[in-house]
Amino acid sequence: MTLSAIRSNDGQFLYCLGMIEDITERKRAQEEKERLQQQLQQSQKLEAIGTMAGGIAHDFNNILTGILGFTELVRSEIPEDTEVYENLTEVVKAGRRARDLVKQILSFSRRGETEKSLISLVTIVKEALKLIRSVTPSHITIRQNCTVSAERSILADPTQMHQMVMNLCLNAADAMPDGGVLEISLEEVQVETESRPEQTQLPSGCYLKLTVRDNGAGIPPEVRERIFEPYFTTKQVGKGTGMGLAVVHGVIKEHGGNIAVSSEPGRGTAFEICLPIVEATPDTEIESTPVVAAGSESILFVDEETMITNLQRSQLGKWGYRVTATENSATALGIFRANPQDFDLVITDQSMPGLTGIKLAQAIHEISPSTPIILCTGFDEGISRENARMIGIHAILSKPTTGAEFSHTIRSVLDEARKPSQPTS
């Protein structure tokens, strides 16, 4: 509404002119524009995360290759029934979690599909609690109550489940700066939507219910309504991204579950997550040292990281292979060109200055088409396996790999190369 006073030539008030305009559509258009702008900003943030993740993935995976490789080397020299062996096993497991987390970040930034398998949520929770205890202040008491058999499984991405538990527990710890009790419980529940209308968002069936509870300050109602919004955070600048609970919410929904929060200011907060049970035996990791495949062939190994070349000199040598290792791809090509008959296999990194792994493989293939090549990469750069095969690359490994995976790939490639080629008809 716009009101204007109409006056005479000498300034006397005569009457008021009012104009009324319906601006509903204009307001809606403005709100829609603001919403689209916010979505664009969020999309740009996610794109930036993806660019950053891709940029650091190669270097980070090189570091993890050294951590996992040298730890496995040391662990293989120690009896399995010792505390040192168990401690090193925890290092290996943490390294694998870090490796899987890098894959998850890359998958998230590219909107990739998650890798789901049958897993034991009990095992995931217990593994996460070991890490939580190590990073939680001593004045916070951690209590756990898991009444579910490890045989009860869910179909889920194990890394996402691990990160979900870590996120909820660390948030609960943050809510108790002066100390308190963090309770984690896991139980099996039966959801009957007909008799419990509040659970209509979940189909009827058996679920695992994970509850993470703290007795901290609680969440005010106005904040509780927004905690699952992307980028919403009550933490200080630099203390949080605001993506934690939004990602948790998305992960749980993607896995066919539900998350609910209850909180009372001054009395704490509880998050309840329900995930559907799958009637099957969960996949389990073998905790003992996996059997490696050995050999006696000659291998040319090239990686720009000195740490990794030192690792493979020791590791491949321990498996019985004769190893020539170098950090320079041009040097590696010179060594191979001088005596190609001396090498049964070439293993090369992809991201190297000068000659990349692909270019090195092409050059080696031109010199000796029968020499098999394994390409290692810390970041999947969209290398076509079909095109790779045409230039002599028999296998592509993503860093970091376990010793067992690495050794079996080497053995498989060497054995395949020895087979006589089948005549074409």
| Residue at which a domain ends, from 220, 253, 286 | 286
Domain tally, the chain? 3
Choice among 54-63, 214-223, 399-408 with the minimum mean pLDDT: 54-63
How does the average pLDDT of the chain come out, rounded?
A: 83
259 and 313 share one domain: no
d(CA 245, CA 231): 9
Enter the pTM of the model: 0.56
Q: 123: part of which helix (H) or strand (E)?
A: helix 121-135
Distances 258 to 162, 250, 251 between C-alpha atoms, Å: 17, 10, 10
349 and 272 share one domain: no
Identify the three-state secondary structure at position 249: helix
In a domain, 97, yes or no: no
252 and 338 share one domain: no
Among 99-103, 257-261, 341-345, 380-384, top mean pLDDT goes to 341-345
145 and 267 share one domain: yes
Convert the pLDDT of each residue in 275-300 to its tens digit: 999 876 655 544 444 567 788 999 99
305 and 278 share one domain: no
In a domain, 74, yes or no: no
159 and 197 share one domain: yes
**Structure-token match 């073998």, residue found:** 286
In a domain, 170, yes or no: yes
Domain assignment of residue 214, given as a range: 115-286
121 and 239 share one domain: yes
227 and 127 share one domain: yes
In 3D space, the residue among 268, 248, 269, 244 whose CA is nearest the CA of residue 259 turns out to be: 248
C-beta of residue 238 within 8 angstroms of C-beta of residue 310? no
In a domain, 338, yes or no: yes
14 and 36 share one domain: yes
pLDDT value at residue 238: 45
| Residue at which a domain ends, from 49, 64, 80 | 49
pLDDT value at residue 207: 93
165 and 239 share one domain: yes
CATH number at residue 281: 3.30.565.10
Residue 418 has pLDDT above 90, yes or no: no
Residue partners of 410: CB distance under 8 A and separation at least 6: 293, 295, 299, 316, 321, 345, 347, 374
Residue 339 has pLDDT above 90, yes or no: yes
pLDDT value at residue 37: 83
- As to burial, measured by CB atoms within 10 angstroms (0-12 exposed, 13-18 middle, 19+ buried), residue 387 is exposed
Identify the three-state secondary structure at position 336: helix
335 and 369 share one domain: yes
Residue 124 has pLDDT above 70, yes or no: yes
Q: 182: part of which helix (H) or strand (E)?
A: strand 180-191
**Structure-token match 């951590």, residue found:** 67
d(CA 283, CA 163): 18
Supply the DSSP symbol for 247. Answer: H
31 and 172 share one domain: no
In a domain, 121, yes or no: yes
Determine the average pLDDT of the residues in 227-254: 67
